[in-house]
């Protein structure tokens, strides 16, 4: 059988089965892997370079959120998980193990060459930073969506 003719039929059959007879689906949110912070360098003028190693092959992967706090615990477990500064990498649907370079800078300058993403944030030397992975969470019952965050990364002290 010609694969070009078989594939549309297979997709249609799968859609019909899923739409009308599939009751075995999960309502449990997917767990995203947290990134590992490798190093942070002060570039002067409130500009920092952050090296991060991450692996997020999930389809729902969206990017990362940076948190800062006076202590390691506050950076890793902020009172509001929406309060951090996000770096959305939606153009990369599937991300394999990679080392990212982020720029953390309050200005709206363009990314420096070789930088994966710019996080618009102001950091204070001596504070702690941590990151969490952002995944897309869709609620089919009320047609809403939001970000689901991972467990926290390790923490680093801002130089």
The arithmetic mean of pLDDT across residues 111-127, rounded, is 89
pTM: 0.76
pLDDT at 6: 45
Q: Which residue did the predictor score with more confidence, 3 or 58?
A: 58
pLDDT at 129 over 90: yes
CA dist 45 → 21, 23, 41, 112, 123 (Å): 60, 56, 12, 15, 11
Residue range 105-112: average pLDDT? 83
Three-state DSSP class for residue 116: coil
Looking at per-residue confidence, does 17 or 144 come out higher?
Answer: 144
Domains in the chain: ranges and CATH: 36-157 (2.60.40)
User: Which parts of the chain are beta strand (E)?
Assistant: 36-44, 47-56, 61-69, 85-88, 95-104, 117-119, 128-139, 144-149, 156-157
Averaged pLDDT for residues 134-155: 78
Angle, CA of 97, 33 and 139, to the nearest 5°: 125
Looking at residues 138-158, what average pLDDT do you find? Answer: 81
Q: Which H or E run contains 11?
A: helix 3-21
Per-residue pLDDT, 139: 64
* High-pLDDT (> 70) share of the chain, %: 69
Question: So what's the pLDDT on residue 5?
Answer: 44
Token readout for 33 is 């892997």
Contact, 131 vs 37, CB < 8 A?
yes
Question: 60-79, pLDDT tens digit by residue?
Answer: 778 899 999 999 999 999 99
The 10s digit of each residue's pLDDT in 2-27 is: 444 445 555 555 555 555 555 555 55
Across all residues in the chain, what is the average pLDDT?
79
């Amino acid at each position: 059988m010609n694969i070009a003719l078989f594939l549309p039929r297979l997709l249609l059959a799968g859609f019909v089965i899923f739409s009308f007879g599939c009751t075995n689906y999960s309502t449990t949110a997917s767990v995203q892997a947290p990134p590992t912070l490798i190093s942070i360098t002060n570039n002067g003028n409130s500009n920092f370079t952050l090296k991060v190693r991450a692996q997020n092959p999930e389809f729902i992967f969206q990017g990362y959120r940076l948190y800062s706090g006076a202590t390691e615990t506050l950076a890793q477990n902020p009172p509001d998980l929406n309060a951090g500064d996000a770096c959305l990498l939606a153009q990369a649907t599937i991300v394999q193990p990679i080392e990212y370079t982020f720029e953390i800078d309050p200005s709206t300058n363009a990314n420096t060459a070789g930088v994966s993403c710019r996080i618009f944030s102001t950091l204070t030397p001596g504070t702690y930073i941590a990151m969490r992975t952002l995944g897309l969470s869709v609620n089919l019952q009320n047609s809403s969506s939001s970000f689901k965050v991972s467990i926290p990364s390790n923490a680093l002290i801002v130089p």
